[in-house]
Amino acid sequence: MSICTVKRLLIVALTLLTFGLGLSPAKADQNTSLFDHIQSGFALVGAHKKVPCADCHFNAVFKGTPHACEACHNNSRSPGKSRSHPPSGNFCEECHTINSWLNARFNHSAVSGSCESCHNGTIATGKSAQHIASGNSCVNCHRPTNWSAARFDHQDASNVCESCHNGSIATGKPVKHVQSTNSCNNCHVPTNWSSVRFDHSAVTGSCQSCHNGTVATGKPPKHIATSNQCDTCHVPTKWSTVRFDHSAVTGSCQSCHNGTVATGKPPKHIASSNQCDTCHVSTNWSSVRFDHSAVTGSCQSCHNGTVATGKPSKHIASSNQCDTCHVPTKWSTVRFDHSAVTGSCQSCHNGTVATGKPPKHIATSNQCDTCHVPTKWSTVRFDHSAVTGSCQSCHNGTVATGKPSKHIASANTCDNCHVSTNWSSVRVDHGSVTGSCSTCHNGTIATGKPGNHIQTSGQCDSCHRTQGWTPATFDHATVTGSCSNCHNGTVSTGKPGGHFSTSKQCDTCHRSNAWSPLIFRHTSGIYPDHGSRIDCQGCHQSNSQTVIWKFGAYKPDCAGCHANDYKAREHKKYKSPNTVFYRVDELRDCAGACHEYTDSSLTTIKKRRSGEHRANRKEWD
């Protein structure tokens, strides 16, 4: 809904409200000075304040008076659009204001006719007297929002150039223009005036009348000195075509063809310090006896397809100088350098220009230099992503290296384990390994046992599982080292804090399948086995395997510990002539011999005792 429509609805609503309140026209006439016109739904603002009531309310009838501008300003009730008003279906208030009807806010976007329907010299200003002859609509060139910014198109002009370019409407011929009766567009391109298609045939003067250095270029400073008319030598339709006779020229070619008197070497001439007639035949300049030895420029300065034959169609794409590769004295001898080749490898290595892929090449659609280094073809930066065959199709020991001798014994395809973009990144699948663990995990093919591994001759899978290396199911039966090699607090749990201090191996007392009870037995004669009658602490008063002898004078015999236990009266030596008992120092080895003699001569044994006492017995007897 437009703003105007909303305004009208509000006005109608206010009007109905006013008359609904019972304000009759008669009552309004009785006291107009006190009447607040806003109550009628139509506020008297701007120029409406000065309008007498009767001008709008005919015959004192208030009800039904229209509120829209065009309902009154229609040349019936009040003046409406004039004949010169632009064709428009707009509401008045979109351009006019009730404060000043003549001060309109004009908006071209709402005009319903073409520009010409107003800009015709009657309603609004039309084309000026100097306007270009044209039947175009104004908007073809002008913009309604900026009339002076014109987009001019010569193609729409309806008359010849001279009708405008005559010095009045638009600029005409300059003072130094060529004398000619031609129409402008015979030579000039309307869309690009500086682009000239010149035709000498319509020039009305002699060559010199223009080519005099003012109207057009005259003789250049290096022109041959002559009083001849220009067309004596030059062909007007083709100035560069000269009818020249060398027969009267005295001196060498260079005396004229030096770029001063006459044209010298053209820009595309071979760079050479030779005399002209060293190569050219004076009677037939195009007949050349050519000698490369005196050429001072590079090969490309001539062999560029213009001065002389350039690269053939199948030549390698390169920006190099010719003699970088070719030997000038023998063109077919080539010293090739890939560094300046500008095309792709395949543009040459296609089997036509140069050798293509060998029969055993890897199956791939990649560009050559994706893998090969042009300066060293054998150096390959390989990209597996474009290989179209399986790994084995190349890695078979023929096309490319196959499995190395120390490879894991496996029938898997390569990419089951290897990542083609990073061969050293391996996802190993133990399920297809055909050998034992140690055939690979030997420190050569694959990581072997770590330095702190338990010494064992068992296979890895005796303890470890391939799908989960830890935890391990341990079996002491295969361990080849001593207990302390592992149970040292580093590889495995060592002795607890309160352990008996000893240098003995664990299995001297402990069993690998049952750590307790202890199984230690003394085997030395110095430390006889006392059996179960006495525990370790009975002798080892400190937590050490070293025993401190109670009676050091008697060590290492039994008396070293049991000197206080010795009972002399029970150990008779002889009874004649009197009874004598052994001393402890004489029977310090309780487990040794103990004999009772008949007399003090100690020559006859009355009672023999040998090994009477044993350490592992429960009591002495």
SS (H, E, C) 208-268: HHHECCCCECCCCCCCCCCCCCHHHHEECCEEEEECCCHHHCCCCHHHHECCCCECCCCCC
Residues in the chain: 621
- Residue 327 Cα distances to 313, 322, 323, 534, angstroms: 20, 8, 6, 108
Q: Is the pLDDT of residue 559 over 80?
A: yes
Task: Taking residues 4-30, report their average pLDDT.
Answer: 42
Question: What CA–CA distance (Å, rounded) separates 409 from 441?
Answer: 12
Q: Which residue has the higher pLDDT, 186 or 11?
A: 186
- 74-78, 534-538, 558-562, range with greatest mean pLDDT: 558-562
pLDDT mean across residues, the chain: 78
pTM for this predicted structure: 0.29
Whether residue 134 contacts residue 160, with contact meaning beta carbons closer than 8 Å, is answered with no
Question: What CA–CA distance (Å, rounded) separates 75 from 80?
Answer: 5
Question: What CA–CA distance (Å, rounded) separates 1 from 193?
Answer: 53
pLDDT value at residue 604 = 92
Q: Bridge partners of 295?
A: 272
pLDDT value at residue 15 = 42
Burial 416-447 (b: 16+ CB within 10 A, else e): ebbeeeeeeeeebeeeebeeebbebbeeebee
For the ranges 1-15, 126-140, 345-359, 371-385, which has the lowest average pLDDT? 1-15
- pLDDT for 436-475, tens place per residue? 888 888 888 788 888 778 888 788 888 888 777 788 887 7
Task: Taking residues 169-194, report their average pLDDT.
Answer: 79
Q: Which residue has the higher pLDDT, 601 or 33?
A: 601
Burial 369-398 (b: 16+ CB within 10 A, else e): eebbeeeeeeeeebebeebeeebeebbeee
Provide the pLDDT confidence category of residue 574 given band limits of 50, 70 and 90: very high
How many whole angstroms from its chain centre is CA 533? 85
Angle 132-135-137 (CA atoms, 0-180°, nearest 5)?
100
Provide the pLDDT confidence category of residue 294 given band limits of 50, 70 and 90: confident
* Those residues with Cβ within 8 angstroms of residue 466's Cβ, 6 or more apart along the chain or in another chain: 430, 431, 437
Task: Taking residues 3-12, report their average pLDDT.
Answer: 46
Provide the pLDDT confidence category of residue 493 given band limits of 50, 70 and 90: confident
Task: Taking residues 315-331, report their average pLDDT.
Answer: 79
Q: What is the CA radius of gyration of the chain?
A: 64
pLDDT value at residue 597 = 93
